[in-house]
Amino acid sequence: MSRQLILVLVTLSPVAPVAGQADSLPEGVTPAMIATGRSLFHGQGLCFSCHGQDGQGVANLGPALGDPDWLHGDGSLAAIVARISAGVPADSAKTGISMPPLGGSRLNDTQVRAVAAYVWSLRRR
């Protein structure tokens, strides 16, 4: 094989994702954790009632969660965990409607992290 062909093949070869790329998961997050978070989002967490069934948002209530821009935080897993835990006061909310801490539900820390992992994953569909 010629050097040029090898160079082309190497250049076009797929490479494994590196940390920070869209297809890599944050440290400690697994697909199973995201699935648990999805279940909590649609059930016990009550998230769907303001953010819609697939996180697409509900007009004049809860913003879409899959948008590229985050209203409160940088979209990192840690920022999402913090936002779910603390909520959003009405005077900071785009709609003027507050999000209570834990969305008004009774999630424990492990469940909050799972919901956050699911919300984080919404931007990567």
The predicted structure's pLDDT at residue 68: 83
Alpha carbons 103 and 106: distance in angstroms, whole number: 9
CATH number of 30-122: 1.10.760.10
The predicted structure's pLDDT at residue 1: 47
Task: List CB contacts of 85: < 8 A, sequence separation 6 or more.
Answer: 101, 102, 112
Mean pLDDT by 10 residues, the chain (125 residues): 38 34 80 98 96 94 90 94 97 93 97 98 87
List the structure tokens of 21: 């790329």
pTM score, whole prediction = 0.79
- End-to-end CA gap in the chain: 39
Return the domain boundaries, the chain: 30-122
